[in-house]
Amino acid sequence: MMSRQTASSLILPELVEVIRSALHGVVLTGAGISAESGIPTFRDAQTGLWAKYSPEELASPQAFRRNPKLVWEWYAWRRELVAQAKPNPGHLALAELERRMPRFTLITQNVDGLHQRAGSYNVVELHGNLNRVKCFEEGDIVTSWPPGPEVPPRCPRCGGHLRPDVVWFGETLPPQALRAAFEAAQRCDLFFAIGTSGLVQPAASLPYEALRRGMPVVEINPDETPLTQSATYALAGPAGQILPELLNRLNYKNYKE
């Protein structure tokens, strides 16, 4: 494993050539890249009116059954935070990398949709998306419903409550997304782990799928994680600084942050 380096020296010529020659790049992103856009992490979102609640009290099927209005309003508040945020240079650089690489898969643990807003297309959402709504009873995505005062609104098909399309405590990840993530990790020739703690399973095991096959793994994170000692390249710093510099070293002349 290469040692962690400071911002001015972290982009080694060897790493640039590895990226330049990659045919299928896979990226796993976590809360760190969204935090650079001012979006609080899941647990840091317990502020103001919500400080008296723990995430477990607001992000589980049991919590929704107990008090669906409370849970819906917490997620409405979080949606407002996301709506006010903008993709940062890290998000934009990943979208540009996708345009440049022959094949590219972006796997995210985030639910804010900032990757799509930045221009990324092939995005696998492991934990869902705050901006989507589904039926609590049937699980189907719902795009519109009759206006009314009830909170949360009701499913126009079955009358059940609507809920955010995110993965709650005690729920399994979407099988199709999980399968796509592991297939990408097993077939790529370059893997990035960006802004993720490396603690939340099963996402934390994805870079090790690439390592087992001898593929290079690049970690970008200000903090050391369980992956750091195993990563091929461990780059200490925020994605919003490292990724734009990386694209500049790749001589992507038309790249604009």
Among candidate residues 24, 91, 115, 127, the one labeled active-site is 127
| 117, 99 contact by CB (below 8 A) | no
Angle between the 239-249 and 89-100 helix axes, to the nearest 10 degrees?
Answer: 30
Distance CA 14, CA 11 (A): 8
The alpha-carbon radius of gyration of the chain (Å, integer) is 19
Distance CA 148, CA 19 (A): 52
Buried b (16+ CB within 10 A) or exposed e, 19-49: beebebbbbbbbbbbbbbbebeebeebbeee
Buried b (16+ CB within 10 A) or exposed e, 132-143: ebbbbeeeeebe
DSSP letters, 146-188, are ---S-SSPBPTTT-PBEEEEEPPTT-PPPHHHHHHHHHHHHH-
Whether 127 sits among the annotated catalytic residues: the reply is yes
**Phi and psi dihedrals of 113, rounded to 5?**
75, 10
Point out the residues that are catalytic: 127
